[in-house]
Chain A
Amino acid sequence: MRLLIAAGLLLAWPLTLNAAPKGDALFAENCAVCHQTEGHGGIGLPLDQGRLSLLSDDYLKATIRAGRPGRLMPSFDELSDAQVTAIVGYLRSHYQAPARAYDSAPLAGDAGRGAELFAANCVVCHGADGSGQGRGTGVTISREREFSIMPPAITNPGFLGAAPDAMIAAIIREGRPGGVMPSFRNELSPQDIADVVAHVRVLGKQAADSRPNGERLELTLIVDSPYDFDTTVKNVRQALGGSNFRTFPERFLEEGLTDEFSHDQKQVSLRFCNFTQLFDLLNIEPRLGVVLPCRVTVVEHPDGKVQLIAANMRTISHWFNNDELEAVANKMADAVQAVLEEATL
Chain B
Amino acid sequence: MKRWLLTLLMMAALLPAAQAAQTTLMARSQMPFDAALAKVQEVLAEHGYTVAHIQKCDGGMAQFGYHSDKYQLVFFGKLEEVRRVSHSHPEMIPFLPLKLAVFAEHQETLVVALDPLELGRYINDADLQIQLARWHSDLRSILQEMREAR
The number of residue pairs between A and B whose CB atoms lie closer than 8 Å in the complex comes to 189
Query: Is A256 an interface residue, CB under 8 A from the partner?
Result: yes
13 pairs of residues in contact across A and B, judged by CB atoms under 8 Å:
A10-B8, A33-B110, A140-B67, A142-B67, A143-B66, A219-B122, A222-B90, A253-B86, A254-B79, A287-B101, A299-B90, A309-B90, A309-B93
- CB-based contact A78/B68 at 8 Å: no
A257–B77 contact, CB under 8 A? yes
In the complex, the answer to whether A254 meets B83 with C-beta atoms within 8 Å is yes
**Given contacts A220-B91, A257-B79, A290 and B17 within 8 Å (CB-CB):** no
Please name all residues of chain B whose beta carbon is closer than 8 Å to the beta carbon of A251 when the two chains form the complex: 53
Give A contacts to B, CB under 8 Å.
2-3, 6, 9-10, 13-14, 17, 21, 26, 28-30, 32-34, 36-37, 42-43, 67, 74-80, 83, 140-144, 218-220, 222, 251, 253-258, 264, 267, 275-276, 278-279, 282-283, 286-293, 295, 297, 299, 301, 307, 309-311, 315, 319-321
Question: What is the distance, in angstroms, from A212's C-beta to the closest C-beta of chain B?
Answer: 16
| Interface-facing stretch out of B25-33, B40-48, B129-137 | B25-33
Q: In the bound complex, what is the Cα–Cα distance between A26 and B99 (angstroms)?
A: 25
Contact indicator A36/B57 (Cβ below 8 Å): no
Task: Check A254 against B82 for contact (C-beta < 8 Å).
Answer: yes
Q: Which residues on B sit within 8 Å (CB–CB) of A26?
A: 18
Expressed in whole angstroms, the Cα–Cα distance for A37 and B147 within the complex equals: 10
Task: Please give me the residue from chain B that is nearest to A5 by CB atom.
Answer: B8
Residue of A nearest to B79 (CB): A257
Instruction: Please report the C-alpha to C-alpha distance between residue A286 and residue B73 in the assembled complex, in whole angstroms.
Output: 12
Q: Inside 8 A of B95's CB, which chain A residues have their CB?
A: 291, 311
A30-B18, A290-B99, A320-B23 given; A256·B86 CB < 8 A? no
Interface SS majority for chain B: mixed
- Chain B hits for A21, CB < 8 A: 18
- Chain B 90-113 interface mask (CB, 8 Å, partner A; 1/0): 111111110111011110101011
In the complex the two chains form, is B8's CB within 8 Å of A29's CB?
no
With CB as the reference atom, state the residue of chain A lying closest to B113.
A290
On whether A292 and B28 interact (CB within 8 A), knowing A10-B8, A257-B78, the answer reads no
- Please give, as numbers and ranges, the residues of chain B lying within 8 Å of A13 by CB-CB distance: 12, 15
Interface residues on chain B, number (Cβ under 8 Å): 67
Contact of A257 among B4, B16, B17, B52 (CB under 8 A): B52
Within 8 Å by CB of B50, from A3, A14, A256, A320, lies A256
Minimum CB–CB distance from A111 to chain B (whole Å) comes to: 33
- Residue in contact with A293 in the complex, picked from B4, B12, B24, B57, CB distance below 8 Å: B57
**Chain B residues in 8 Å Cβ range of A141:** 67-68, 105-106
A10 and chain B: residue at smallest CB distance = B11
For the complex, give the distance between the alpha carbons of A253 and B64 in Å. 30
Which chain B residues lie closer than 8 Å to A321 at the CB level? 22
- The docked-state distance in angstroms from the alpha carbon of A270 to that of B51 is 19
Contact (Cβ within 8 A) A28 B147: yes
Contact B23–A253 (Cβ < 8 Å): no
- Nearest Cβ distance between residue B108 and chain A, in whole angstroms? 7
Are the CB atoms of B103 and A286 closer together than 8 Å?
A: yes
The answer to whether residues A33 and B27 also contact, given A219-B119, A289-B112, A290-B114 and a CB cut-off of 8 A, is yes
Q: B4 contacts which chain A residues (CB < 8 A)?
A: 2-3, 6
Q: A47 CA to B12 CA in the complex, in Å?
A: 33
Quote the shortest CB–CB distance from B2 to chain A (angstroms): 12
Contacts A254-B79, A256-B52, A292-B73 supplied; 6 other A-B pairs, CB < 8 Å = A10-B11, A140-B67, A144-B66, A295-B94, A299-B90, A315-B122
User: Which residue of B is nearest A293, CB measured?
Assistant: B55
B21 on interface, CB distance cutoff 8 Å: yes
Q: How far is the CB of A252 from chain B (nearest CB, A)?
A: 10
* Complex contacts, A319 vs chain B, CB 8 Å: 23-24, 114, 118
A75 with B73: CB separation less than 8 A: no
CB distance from B100 to the nearest CB of A (A): 7
Complex partner residue of A142 from B24, B86, B93, B105, CB under 8 angstroms = B105
Bound-state Cα–Cα, A288 to B71, Å: 11
Please tell me if the beta carbons of A29 and B105 are within 8 angstroms of each other in the complex. Answer: no
